[in-house]
């Protein structure tokens, strides 16, 4: 018959194995989710972050951009009971315009085109020579 200490040690060991397997499972699930994502270098990612941050910080909000409803609580406190932002499309358009200013968009070819990477890890898109007609 097993003692309490032996059983506790066995349970603790099994819990450790379960935690290790859960960590491996989480890593494998993340890899599976990420396997088909397009890639970009850290430099491009930081530029994209800065562009979006600048675009959002340049947006000025006004009272007219929101729909809201106020209500009165039982203890005579005014409460904001409903709030929605009406200018989502406008904000998205502003962000896209800022991204368009920073990046050059190329047409996709038949295969998956993300461009090749230069020595810095940045996406390097080769320019095709265009003959004058």
pLDDT at 12 over 90: yes
pLDDT digits (tens, 9 = 90+) for 32-67: 988 888 888 899 999 999 999 998 888 888 888 899
Residue written as token pair 């675009």: 55
Q: Which long-range contacts (CB under 8 A, 24 or more apart) does 46-51 make?
A: 47/102, 48/99, 48/102, 48/103, 51/98, 51/99, 51/101, 51/102, 51/103
Average pLDDT for residues 101-130, to the nearest whole number? 59
Q: Which is more confidently placed, 24 or 116?
A: 24
- Residue 128's pLDDT is what? 39
For 91, residues 6+ apart whose C-beta sits below 8 A from its C-beta are 56, 59, 85
- Residue 104's pLDDT is what? 85
Residue 129 banded pLDDT, cuts 50, 70, 90 = very low
Q: What is the distance of C-alpha 67 from the center of its chain?
A: 27
Separation between Cα atoms, residue 117 and residue 17, nearest integer Å: 41
Element holding 51 (H helix, E strand): helix 42-57
Average pLDDT for residues 5-26, to the nearest whole number? 94
């Amino acid at each position: 018959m097993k003692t309490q200490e032996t059983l506790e040690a066995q349970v603790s060991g099994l819990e450790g194995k379960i935690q290790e397997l859960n960590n491996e499972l989480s890593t494998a699930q993340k890899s599976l989710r990420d396997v088909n994502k397009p890639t970009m270098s850290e430099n491009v990612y930081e530029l994209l972050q800065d562009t979006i941050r600048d675009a959002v910080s340049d947006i000025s909000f006004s009272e007219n951009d929101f729909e809201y409803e106020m209500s009165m609580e039982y203890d005579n406190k005014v409460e904001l009971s409903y709030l929605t932002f009406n200018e989502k499309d406008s904000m998205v358009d502003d962000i896209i315009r800022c991204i368009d200013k920073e990046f050059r968009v190329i047409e996709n070819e038949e295969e998956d085109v993300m461009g090749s990477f230069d020595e810095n890890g940045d996406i390097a898109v080769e320019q095709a020579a265009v003959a004058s007609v």
